[in-house]
Structure 1
Amino acid sequence: MLRQARVNSIRAAIALAMVAGSCIPVLSEAYPTRPISLIVPFPAGGGTDTLARPLVERLKEHLGQPVIIDNRGGGGSNIGNSAAARSAADGYTLLINTDTMAVLSLLFAKLTYDPINDLTPVGYIASVPMVIAINPKLPVNSVQDLIEKARKDNDSLNFANVGTGTPQHLAFELLCRAAGIKINQAGYRGAGPAINDVVAGHIQFGVFTLGSVLPQIEAGNMRALAVLSDKRHPAVPNVPTIVEAGYKDVQVPIRYILFAPKGMPHAIMTKLNKALESSVASPEMTNVLSRNAYEPLYGSPEEISKLMRDENARWSPIVKELGLRLD
């Protein structure tokens, strides 16, 4: 009797598991059936948040459910990243961040998650190049002029560092490393104050995203020496690339990516990737990107995963050489 009860119990458990397993494709096919949360790991009003807001409207159109922004700033984006990594892999919690996620494990020793292995890329959103921008009164006309000035009169130059370990800071260090120079740095909490001081002439130059300084460049308050890319940007067609300046290894674009917790069903991943690509290609999103000097970007989850691993390998020796740690 007892033995038969155990057999029945085992059979019931197997049947339940089979039913649960068979439900996964059905649930994936029906996805989404409720609102989706998009974690923005930065405060409201910042560059990532500004990009996320028009994006969620387009995603809503393609997915048929609201996509609600959840700002969780702090900790160099790690608070929001960690929350996303710990969420269920059911497609109802997503994360927007950049490919700089690839270097977080190099900068922070005590992360509660693995930025590369605990989060899966869904697809690209956009890219924005960075530029070397100077106060227009600085008597240099090219990257090479700037480097020569650093070699001959280092004390006359100061670099506006928008934040230790940021892409802007790492790009600057990469240039200094490639040119064999050292330049004094002034630290800031964000790009806004740094841009203001370069415009005012308190600091001579900085590395910034093109979108953040384009109004100042157009107004003549700043001058761009180079776009840190291999192709010129239509917003500043007369500004040469860093490759033209002779430093092909100092290409540092910022790529915005939609992430999800690892282990998400393939059907949901495919549906999200298609919705994302359609959203990015929409006229409304294209206009937003163009106004802010972003360029739409497309790619598969597999391509982006490879990029993340490659970027981690690229920056690892540089971060170690500089001794950068943020915790």
Structure 2
Amino acid sequence: MTSRPFGPADLRQTVMLGLTAASFMFSASAMAQAYPSQPIKFLVPYTAGGTSDAIARQVGQRLGDVLKQPVIIENKGGAGGTVGTALVAKAPPDGYTVLVTLSSHAINPGLYKTLSYDTEKDFKAVTLLANGPQILAIHPKIPANTLKEYLDWLRKNPQESNYASGGQGTPGHLAAELLSSMSEIKFQHIPYRGGGAAVTDVIGGQVNAVWVTAIAAIPHIKAGRLKALAVTTKDRLAALPGVPTVAESGYPTYAVDAWVGMFVPASTPQDRVDILYKATSLALANPELKAALLAQGSEVIGNSPAETSTSVSSEIRLWRKLIAERGIKPE
């Protein structure tokens, strides 16, 4: 076959192809560099007013300042957080839809027989924002001032062992179940649709005790409407330095440290995950934000995506085992 000479038309075509390729490369590079170029949505899979919502709003404001883009909070509650979580799993993996959720994210795989998503495969971890410690608090009428006194009273009055939590399978519920297992005292669980409602009924005297987040309990403890007996974390809370841990109170291996974390759809480009993580780290370093979280009973965590992923996987195994042993079912 005879080859034809390379002429002006070929030169024009070669130049055009080169320009097209260069344009594509520039556009792809610009896209990567431009993120974020629009508002970011924090989807909280719980109703407004809870721990994850409060922390999402506080962090979102600071993150927006760092990224120079607004962070919008959207609440999609239902089924222990699984409704909103499923929406994020199916969202475009572009870094603009971020799940901000509680440690129920690691509890739900053991609690629900079937989920429309896979907690480990359908999400990439960004970071854990802050811890959400649980507090055991009782109505002031209960004749106990320490955890030991309370448990001794329950042994003598087993009919009084009722307690409220923010819902079936929540960190507060499982924190109570862990102590029930260790103390060999059967507690009567009364699940509510949120920690606020649980606290209200304990203050009103309808229920004797509540296992709930520090954010929900601290204002009422300081006002004398609730009596705090113990916190679930391995260390005492800066906001309640006089309240001992469960571990200090006779159960040295006990520790339940709930958290609020950030996750994105699994196919989100890693460079965008890294941008989110670094920007969130800067937001969490803000002294005013740190002080506000401490006053609520929460402390900044801010661990890396890899650390977060490892931690969540470990917790999934831990809670799955406890849920199976205690026969805990969803509502």
Both structures adopt the same fold (TM-score exceeding 0.5): yes
- Cα distance in 2 for residues equivalent to 1:18 and 1:107: 52
Q: Any residues of structure 2 matched to 1:142-161 within 5 Å, and which?
A: 142-161=146-165
Write the letter of the residue equivalent to 1:316. Answer: R
- Cα distance in 2 for residues equivalent to 1:81 and 1:186: 25
Could you say if the C-alpha distance between residues 144 and 296 of structure 1 is closer, same or farther in structure 2, counting changes exceeding 3 Å? Answer: same
CA contact (8 A) 1:157 1:203 kept: no
Residues 1:208 and 2:212 are matched in the alignment: yes
Write the letter of the residue equivalent to 1:234. Answer: A
- Cα distance in 1 for residues equivalent to 2:271 and 2:177: 42
Could you say if the C-alpha distance between residues 238 and 189 of structure 1 is closer, same or farther in structure 2, counting changes exceeding 3 Å? Answer: same
- Cα distance in 1 for residues equivalent to 2:251 and 2:82: 32
Look up the SS of the partner of 1:248 in the other structure: coil
Write the letter of the residue equivalent to 2:219. Answer: P
Residues 1:53 and 2:57 are matched in the alignment: yes
Residues 1:227 and 2:239 are matched in the alignment: no
After superposition, the C-alpha distances for 1:75-122 in whole angstroms (9 at most, x for unaligned) are 221121111111222211111012220121111222111122211111
Residues 1:303 and 2:307 are matched in the alignment: yes
Write the letter of the residue equivalent to 1:268. Answer: R
Q: TM-score, normalised by structure 2?
A: 0.87
CA contact (8 A) 1:29 1:268 kept: no
> 2:297 aligns to what?
293
Q: Gapped runs of 5+ residues in structure 2?
A: 1-19
Instruction: After TM superposition, give the deviation of residue 19 of structure 1 in Å.
Output: 8.6
Could you say if the C-alpha distance between residues 101 and 18 of structure 1 is closer, same or farther in structure 2, counting changes exceeding 3 Å? Answer: farther
CA contact (8 A) 2:45 2:78 kept: yes
1:73 to 73, 77, 87: 77
> 2:93 aligns to what?
89
After superposition, the C-alpha distances for 1:127-155 in whole angstroms (9 at most, x for unaligned) are 12111111122112222222222222211
Tell me how many residue pairs correspond in the alignment.
313
CA contact (8 A) 1:109 1:325 kept: no
CA contact (8 A) 1:188 1:194 kept: yes
Between 1:314-323 and 1:46-55, the stretch displaced more is 46-55
Q: Gapped runs of 5+ residues in structure 1?
A: 1-15
1:63 to 64, 67, 87: 67
- CA RMSD, aligned part only? 2.3
- Cα distance in 1 for residues equivalent to 2:21 and 2:212: 53
Q: Identity over aligned residues, as a percent?
A: 35
> 2:261 aligns to what?
257
Residues 1:325 and 2:326 are matched in the alignment: no
